[in-house]
Chains A and B, each alone.
Chain A
Amino acid sequence: MINPHPASTTADGQTARSTPGPPFITLRDVTKTWPNGTTVLSQIQMDVAKGDFISLIGPSGCGKSTLLRLISGLSPMSTGFIQIDGMIPENAREIMSFIFQDATLLPWRTVSRNVELGLELQGGETRTGRSAKARELLKLVGLESVADHYPRQLSGGMKMRVSIARALAIRPKILLMDEPFGALDEMTRDFLNEEVLRLREVDKFTTFFVTHSVSEAVFLSNRIMVLKANPGQIHREIQVPFPNPRVASLRSAPEFLSLVGEVSSALRAVKSQK
């Protein structure tokens, strides 16, 4: 198996972006047709640099979740190709983590043992090593105090933070998030948005983020892909120029609001198309 962590590519996103060479992730003519003949995604092209934070936004059913499943190799594409750090998706799973809309915690494991799951399945780490790492990550998301609780004892927002800690435990280079905060109230969502940005400063992961919230997309991303439906295609890409690190007050800045307006109108255009 190819070593997914060659020393030359461990530099952080910012420096990698400026270096010439092949992009970190490439999608070429990615098309997905279901067995019943409907084409859900057609001719998707994308070049992703290390450290990019890409939001996918578009009408329901346009294929956002499907696209994430193709990138993660959970679902095979029909034609086209995807390359991730020089690997096909199925071989790149070790450097990817998937965060689902529901926190998908295992109810029979404690919070800490849930965070350990990825490390445990991958093997190659002692029990004490795993649990030390889990504590460290729980500390990072502010949940050390509930390490020995069971998921049912947590609120929705706490579960999501555990899910994030679990995803980060394997030190992924790529984070795939499918509407991770869709079920949360706005205050919790804002808080977790800031949390994600803070964690990203630490780990510099490259992110694909599916959302229905325009302001969330603008706040988090540096690139927003507005998708259209039937078949799913990238309708428009919108760059978000705000520098990192971003702070909560950005949300009320006029540039922020005007960009939210721009994305919203692109979304409206896409929705009225069909």
Chain B
Amino acid sequence: MNAFFRTWIWPVAVFLAVILGWAGACQLFKIPPYILPGPIAVLNAVIERRENLWFAFRVTAFEAAGGYVLSIVAGIIIALFFAQSAAIRRSLYPYTILLQTVPIVAIAPLILMWFGSGTRSVMLVAFIICLFPIIANTTQGLISVPRNLVDLFIMSNASKMQMLLDLRLPHAVPNLFIGLRISGGISVIGAITGELFASSNAVGQGGPWLFDHLCQQPASDRLPVRPGADGQRPGFPLLFPRGLLRMAAAAQMA
């Protein structure tokens, strides 16, 4: 009981402090609700639109989880392949880094253009953003087995398969978990980015139009985060810096 109390007291205290600070700031500086509504207003909006939000939450969670699970399966298979030889790694690793360095907002419109704006495409966006951390961490774990352990297995005349299943894979589990933790978080970012473009229905319509459209249209039901009681205000121009959208628009034109 005491331990339970000690674990929870501080996070709860911080939560309450932030909420109180938020409500206080709204009151004190007389912030108009369309800039920053108070916590009560937000809570009301959530309750009022709970069905919409719950539906949106389920859709996004499904897309994020789907992309995540796919990336785990594919990532482990690719990592096992990469672990086979340094030549394979040298020739293919640069392209997986490409996955990581090209901004997902630049790829997402393309994916939606190619595969349509359904759940599948959004899942694919989440999948792509999740893939690299899984590949990179698992591969690292598979190839970083200490030489003495490898020698131990060689001395036992272990087959390549035994080496993989009884040594490399179990050794890579902690690294795999690091990858899982990173990808678990960003899968949601991937899904939301995908939804951003899927919901706009602007794919293939040209960059400038997309930009204006995104800034003027109300958020659709597919967008899970809709701050403010004022439902007519689009949520994402506040959430996503305009630069990002411009980048996406540029990618569309290219």
Contact B170 A121 (CB under 8 A): no
A-B Cβ contacts below 8 A, count: 44
Query: Which chain B residues lie closer than 8 Å to A104 at the CB level?
Result: 146, 148-149, 152
Given contacts A104-B146, A108-B173, contact A98 B151 (CB under 8 A): yes
B35 within 8 A of A: no
Query: Which chain B residues lie closer than 8 Å to A97 at the CB level?
Result: 155
Q: Which of B155, B162, B171 contacts A96 (CB 8 A)?
A: B155
B158 within 8 A of A: yes
From DSSP, what is the main secondary structure of chain B's interface residues?
A: helix
Contact B151 A74 (CB under 8 A): yes
Distance in angstroms between the alpha carbons of A118 and B151 in the assembled complex: 12
Contact A121 B148 (CB under 8 A): no
Contact A93 B152 (CB under 8 A): no
Query: Which chain A residues lie closer than 8 Å to B148 at the CB level?
Result: 100, 102, 104
Given contacts A121-B162, A121-B166, contact A106 B155 (CB under 8 A): no
Query: Which chain B residues lie closer than 8 Å to A117 at the CB level?
Result: 152, 156, 166
Contact A98 B173 (CB under 8 A): no
Contact B153 A121 (CB under 8 A): yes
Q: How far is the CB of B79 from chain A (nearest CB, A)?
A: 18
Query: Which chain B residues lie closer than 8 Å to A74 at the CB level?
Result: 151, 154-155
Distance in angstroms between the alpha carbons of A247 and B148 in the assembled complex: 32
B157 within 8 A of A: yes
Bin chain A's interface residue count: 10 to 19
- Closest-by-CB residue of B relative to A104 is B148
A94 within 8 A of B: yes
Q: Among residues 151 to 182 in chain B, which have CB atoms less than 8 Å away from a CB atom of chain A?
A: 151-158, 162, 166-167, 170-171, 173
Contact A98 B157 (CB under 8 A): no
A272 within 8 A of B: no
Contact B157 A94 (CB under 8 A): yes
A122 within 8 A of B: yes
Query: Which chain B residues lie closer than 8 Å to A233 at the CB level?
Result: none
A206 within 8 A of B: no
A72 within 8 A of B: yes
Query: Which chain A residues lie closer than 8 Å to B167 at the CB level?
Result: 106
Query: Which chain B residues lie closer than 8 Å to A69 at the CB level?
Result: 151
Contact A93 B149 (CB under 8 A): no
Which A residues contact B (CB, under 8 angstroms)?
A: 69, 72, 74, 93-94, 96-98, 100, 102, 104, 106, 108, 117-118, 120-122, 170
Q: Beyond A74-B155, A93-B154, list 19 extra A-B contacts (CB 8 Å).
A: A69-B151, A72-B155, A74-B154, A93-B155, A93-B157, A97-B155, A98-B152, A100-B151, A100-B152, A102-B148, A106-B149, A108-B170, A118-B156, A120-B166, A121-B156, A121-B158, A121-B162, A121-B166, A170-B156
Closest 5 CB pairs of A and B: A121-B156, A100-B148, A121-B158, A108-B170, A104-B148
